[in-house]
């Protein structure tokens, strides 16, 4: 198919200093969880996006010197010439597809930990904020940077830029945002110097300007120099001559960098989830930049709609469409637009599971794209799967994320696939959960897959079709895949906090009841030891329906796991706005229908009584695998059956998050008459002889 001319503007080449991007699709720097330790995984992850049509592919944060070390978080580095090879691998991979490769040089200043190198932290005035931030805390404050430090700081940037050029990069960044090195010189509350690097704004930008000029001289104008800059905090700082200090800095620096990459100062704002922010929500941090510079501007906004991308350009907000998450969810997004296949885009749902992968220090994984991180070690491609046998039939039972992904994968492989779903709608848990407050984008997990499988001639879909073991045997398919999901239980921990019995009372509910529209009446207590979104989403839903809600959790925060996906602060803020009463560090010990008894997790004797009508237990889920045991029983007494293999996938095998179900469905779709079950390659450290 041909490209819609409406989107031609997205495919215009853009000059960035001495280099030219082949189009406006720009993968902004972001960590992939691979750091320096997994060079092959990292190169393959980045290459996939170049193959998918992104015109510029950047590294994540790349330390210029051992005095900036973010271990154990996965950052990469250019500390000496031995580090170059890791980057060459990625640059070559990106260049194979005629895209530009960029490197985000980074010095964390006070905004890192130096846990590995044990080098003292340093900052503009020895004022510590980043290193003492709860969550990433370390116990060391930063020291004041004297003139010698500043001279060395500039030289480290130059040395790293020269290595970056040797590695073949086309674009070299200086990072002056997110509380890192040069940014700390810009902020009046962190820069209290009284030399030529402090005081007036011209003085505070001096270091940033010098570094750009030094680097440009060092790379002999063959590489573009990009400036990554956070605007939101500086937009709040008044200026005598401009609307804000952010405006003033951009005016002073206007055409000095070859590219402005504009972002927020905190990661929880920069990469906020879709539950709390819309696509393009950060436009006010960016829209004032272009009128103040002649150089191209890039910024992100979780854009998955080509019409919104075009609007960003036509309205003069940006020149290049920056993306991290949309390019993770669909590395082939540009190619699909170019080929008139925008209805096939695997749209990011904004769940931030990818963010949690980085925090977990593993290659980022994605709810929508199960191949992410598996490109090298499993040879998985997001668009192509090895062919299967069209004469073989596969029956998939259950159309949740696991069943849908498995059906799609098997359909793409050419098998003769039948999908049976008990309910009237496809989607399983997605169809229910996407109706919870803030989760509407999650429907994309269902819609992307159901749209594609409905077009496949080799896939037959039967809704409203609850199957029994006898039905399965009668259908006589070669392979059977059970994707029947899981149910929330009423079990609560026992008096010692160990897995306990069901709380049996007619006023005790589970999330399944709520998702079916079976709501409690009167003051309700949510007892959440699942720690993800469900407890706080139900609290929001029911509060908005007028129910007084108390939320009790043994963790020290509501939805405690969501520290990993950047939602924790917003969830707490929302609970406060909704006046949800919160008890952290408490377990539910008993409930008699009118009174709940809570006990402190630190002291069994410390108890509280709360008058309450109903309880919702958001705890564990039980796999729904009764069909599997029925089937095995029936088969043991059936002589004639063509069934060659039976698989159970997703929540009916291991209850988990949606990302796990999608991955499990994909893995099974490849494994039937195909792929091995474990990865084929592992990264290994180099052994010095």
Query: Omega before 560 cis (within 30°)?
Result: no
Nearest approach, Cβ of 398 to ligand ADP (angstroms)? 3
Please list the residues that pair with 682 across neighbouring strands.
none
List, in sequence order, every beta strand (DSSP E) within 40-180. 56-63, 76-77, 100-106, 122-123, 143-144, 171-176
Q: Which is nearer to ligand SF4, 329 or 396 (CB)?
A: 329
Q: Which of the residues 365 through 424 are near ligand SF4 (CB under 6 A)?
A: 366-368
Q: By CB under 6 A, is residue 354 in contact with ligand SF4?
A: yes
CA distance 591 to 611: 10
DSSP at 2? P
DSSP 540-599: HHHHHTT--EEEE-SSSSTTGGGGTTT-HHHHHHHHHHTT-EEE-SEEEEEE-SSEEEEE
Total number of residues that touch ligand ADP (CB under 6 A): 23
Q: By CB under 6 A, is residue 662 in contact with ligand SF4?
A: no
Residues 6+ apart with CB under 8 A from 220: none
Please pick, from the candidates 352, 371, 562, 648, the single residue that binds ligand SF4 as defined by CB under 6 A.
Answer: 352
Nearest approach, Cβ of 481 to ligand SF4 (angstroms)? 23
Two structure tokens written together for 482: 């059970």
CA distance 119 to 7: 50
CA distance 467 to 474: 11
Q: Which does 368 bind (CB under 5 to 8 A by kind): ligand SF4, ligand ADP, none?
A: ligand SF4
Contact between 318 and 310 (Cβ < 8 Å): no
Q: By CB under 6 A, is residue 345 in contact with ligand SF4?
A: no
Two structure tokens written together for 40: 């092959």
Q: By CB under 6 A, is residue 32 in contact with ligand SF4?
A: no
Q: Which does 397 bind (CB under 5 to 8 A by kind): ligand SF4, ligand ADP, none?
A: ligand ADP
Which among 446, 413, 440 has a CA at the least distance from the CA of 662? 446
Nearest approach, Cβ of 335 to ligand SF4 (angstroms)? 17
Q: Which does 325 bind (CB under 5 to 8 A by kind): ligand SF4, ligand ADP, none?
A: ligand SF4
Q: Which of the residues 481 through 500 are near ligand ADP (CB under 6 A)?
A: 483-485
Contact region for ligand SF4 (CB under 6 A) — 121-129, 219-227, 311-319, 361-369? 361-369
Which among 631, 566, 586, 66 has a CA at the least distance from the CA of 358? 566
Q: Which does 438 bind (CB under 5 to 8 A by kind): ligand SF4, ligand ADP, none?
A: none
Please pick, from the candidates 87, 325, 413, 432, the single residue that binds ligand SF4 as defined by CB under 6 A.
Answer: 325
Which H or E run includes 216?
Answer: helix 206-218
Contact between 207 and 153 (Cβ < 8 Å): yes
Burial class of residue 499 (count of CB atoms within 10 Å of its CB; 0-12, 13-18, 19+): exposed
Q: Which is nearer to ligand ADP, 248 or 421 (CB)?
A: 421
DSSP at 29? -
Q: By CB under 6 A, is residue 351 in contact with ligand SF4?
A: yes
Contact between 388 and 415 (Cβ < 8 Å): yes
First and final CA of the chain: distance in angstroms? Answer: 55
Contact region for ligand SF4 (CB under 6 A) — 106-114, 360-368, 572-580, 622-630? 360-368
Q: By CB under 6 A, is residue 508 in contact with ligand ADP?
A: no
Nearest approach, Cβ of 624 to ligand ADP (angstroms)? 6
Q: Which does 565 bind (CB under 5 to 8 A by kind): ligand ADP, ligand SF4, none?
A: none
Contact region for ligand ADP (CB under 6 A) — 24-32, 166-174, 423-431, 611-619? 423-431
Three-state secondary-structure class, residue 102: strand
Q: Which is nearer to ligand SF4, 32 or 631 (CB)?
A: 32
Please pick, from the candidates 204, 429, 574, 666, the single residue that binds ligand ADP as defined by CB under 6 A.
Answer: 429
Contact region for ligand SF4 (CB under 6 A) — 36-44, 231-239, 348-356, 501-509? 348-356
Contact region for ligand SF4 (CB under 6 A) — 41-49, 281-289, 349-357, 485-493? 349-357
Please pick, from the candidates 29, 33, 428, 669, the single residue that binds ligand ADP as defined by CB under 6 A.
Answer: 428
Q: Which of the residues 615 through 634 are near ligand ADP (CB under 6 A)?
A: 627
Please pick, from the candidates 350, 400, 485, 623, the single residue that binds ligand SF4 as defined by CB under 6 A.
Answer: 350
- The structure tokens 């050419």 sit at 414
CA distance 445 to 662: 9
Interface positions with ligand ADP (CB under 6 A): 397-403, 420-423, 428-429, 466-467, 483-485, 627, 650-652, 661
Interface positions with ligand SF4 (CB under 6 A): 325, 328-329, 348-354, 366-368
């Amino acid at each position: 198919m041909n490209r819609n001319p409406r989107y031609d503007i997205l495919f215009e080449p853009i000059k960035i200093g001495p280099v030219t991007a082949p189009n406006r699709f720009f993968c902004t720097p972001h960590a992939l969880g691979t750091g320096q330790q997994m060079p092959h995984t990292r190169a393959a992850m980045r290459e996939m996006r170049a193959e998918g049509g992104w015109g510029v592919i950047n590294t994540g944060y790349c330390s210029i010197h051992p005095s900036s070390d973010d271990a154990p978080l996965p950052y990469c580095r250019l500390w000496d010439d031995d580090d170059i090879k890791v980057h060459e691998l990625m640059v070559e991979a990106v260049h194979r597809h005629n895209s530009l490769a960029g490197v985000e040089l980074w010095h964390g200043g006070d905004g890192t930990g130096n846990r590995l190198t044990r080098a003292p932290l340093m900052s503009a005035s020895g004022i510590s904020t980043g290193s003492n931030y709860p969550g990433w805390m370390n116990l060391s404050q930063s020291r004041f940077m004297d003139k010698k430090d500043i001279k060395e700081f500039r030289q480290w940037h130059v040395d790293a830029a020269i290595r970056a050029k040797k590695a073949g990069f086309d674009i070299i960044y200086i990072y002056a945002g997110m509380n890192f090195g040069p940014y700390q010189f810009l902020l009046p509350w962190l820069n209290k110097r009284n030399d030529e690097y402090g005081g007036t704004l011209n003085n505070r930008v001096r270091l940033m300007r010098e570094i750009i000029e030094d680097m440009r001289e060092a790379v002999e104008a063959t590489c573009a120099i990009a400036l990554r800059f956070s605007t939101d905090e500086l937009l709040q700082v008044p200026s005598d001559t401009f609307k804000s200090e952010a405006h003033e800095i951009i005016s002073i620096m206007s055409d000095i960098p070859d590219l402005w990459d504009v972002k927020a100062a905190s990661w929880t704002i920069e990469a906020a989830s879709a539950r709390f922010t819309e696509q393009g929500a950060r436009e006010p941090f960016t829209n004032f930049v272009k009128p103040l510079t002649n150089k191209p501007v890039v910024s992100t906004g979780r854009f998955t709609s080509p019409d919104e991308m075009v609007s960003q350009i036509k309205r003069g907000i940006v020149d290049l469409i920056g993306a991290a998450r949309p390019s993770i969810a669909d590395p082939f997004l540009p190619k699909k637009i170019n080929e008139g296949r925008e209805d096939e885009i695997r749209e990011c749902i904004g769940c931030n599971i990818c963010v949690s992968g980085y925090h977990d220090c593993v290659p980022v994984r994605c709810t929508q794209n199960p191949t992410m991180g598996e490109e090298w070690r499993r040879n998985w491609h997001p668009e192509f799967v090895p062919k299967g046998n069209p004469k073989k039939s596969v029956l998939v039972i259950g159309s949740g994320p696991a069943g849908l992904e498995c059906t799609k994968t098997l359909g793409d492989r050419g098998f003769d696939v039948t999908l049976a779903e008990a309910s009237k709608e496809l989607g399983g848990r997605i169809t229910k959960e996407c109706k919870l407050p803030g989760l509407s984008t999650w429907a994309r997990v269902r819609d992307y897959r159901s749209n594609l499988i409905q077009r496949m001639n080799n896939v037959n879909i039967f809704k409203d079709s609850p199957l029994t073991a006898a039905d399965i045997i009668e259908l006589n398919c070669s392979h059977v895949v059970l994707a029947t999901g899981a149910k929330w239980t009423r079990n609560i921990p026992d008096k010692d906090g160990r897995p306990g019995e069901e709380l049996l009372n007619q006023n005790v509910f589970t999330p399944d009841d709520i998702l079916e529209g079976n709501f409690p009446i009167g003051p309700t207590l949510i007892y959440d030891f699942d720690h993800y979104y469900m407890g706080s989403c139900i609290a929001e839903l029911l509060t908005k329906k007028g129910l007084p809600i108390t939320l009790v959790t043994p963790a020290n925060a509501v939805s405690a796991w969501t520290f990993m996906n950047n939602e924790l602060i917003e969830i707490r803020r929302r609970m406060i706005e909704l006046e949800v009463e919160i008890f952290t560090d408490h377990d539910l010990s008993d409930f008699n229908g009118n009174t709940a008894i809570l006990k402190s997790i630190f002291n069994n004797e410390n108890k509280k009584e709360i008058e309450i009508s109903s309880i919702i237990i958001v705890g564990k889920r039980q796999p729904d695998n009764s069909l599997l045991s029925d089937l095995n029983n029936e088969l043991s007494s059936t002589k004639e059956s063509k069934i060659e293999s039976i698989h159970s996938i997703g929540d009916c095998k291991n209850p988990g998050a949606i990302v796990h179900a999608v991955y499990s469905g994909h893995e099974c779709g490849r494994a039937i008459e195909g792929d091995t079950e474990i990865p084929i390659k592992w990264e290994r450290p180099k052994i010095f002889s």
